Amino acid sequence: MRIIIPDSLLNEALIYSRLSRQYTSNRHDFHSGGLDNKQKKMFEGKIGEKAIKKLFIDENIKFEEDTTSHEEADFYDFIVHTKSGKRLKVDVKTRTKAFHTRTLEMVEQLKKKPKDIYISVRLYDKKPIEVEIIGYALKNDFIKVNRIQNQGYLDNYVLFDTELHSINTLLQSLQKNE
Q: Is the pLDDT at 41 greater than 80, yes or no?
A: no
pLDDT tens track for 18-38: 766 555 544 444 445 554 556
pLDDT tens track for 94-145: 998 888 889 999 999 899 999 999 999 998 887 888 899 999 999 999 999 9
Beta-carbon count within 10 A of 125 CB? 9
CA distances from 115 to 28, 128, 132, 155 (A): 18, 30, 21, 17
Q: Measured between alpha carbons, how far is 27 from 112 in angstroms, rounded to an integer? A: 15
Residues 64-96, buried b or exposed e (16+ Cβ, 10 A)? eeeeeebeeeeebbbbbbeeeeeebbbbbbbbb
pLDDT, mean of residues 54-83? 83
- Per-residue confidence (pLDDT) for residue 35, from 0 to 100: 47
Q: Is the pLDDT at 89 greater than 90, yes or no?
A: yes
- Per-residue confidence (pLDDT) for residue 32, from 0 to 100: 54
Supply the DSSP string of 117-156, one letter for each residue: EEEEEEEE-SSS-EEEEEEEEEHHHHHHH--EE-SSSS-E
Average pLDDT value for the chain:
84
Q: Is the pLDDT at 68 greater than 50, yes or no?
A: yes
Q: Measured between alpha carbons, how far is 171 from 134 in angstroms, rounded to an integer? A: 14
Which value, in Å, is the radius of gyration of the alpha carbons in the chain? Answer: 16
The answer to whether the CB of 48 falls within 8 A of the CB of 131 is yes
The answer to whether the CB of 167 falls within 8 A of the CB of 136 is yes
- Per-residue confidence (pLDDT) for residue 134, from 0 to 100: 96
Q: Is the pLDDT at 40 greater than 80, yes or no?
A: no
Q: Is the pLDDT at 74 greater than 70, yes or no?
A: no
- Per-residue confidence (pLDDT) for residue 31, from 0 to 100: 47
pTM for this entry: 0.84
Q: Is the pLDDT at 162 greater than 50, yes or no?
A: yes
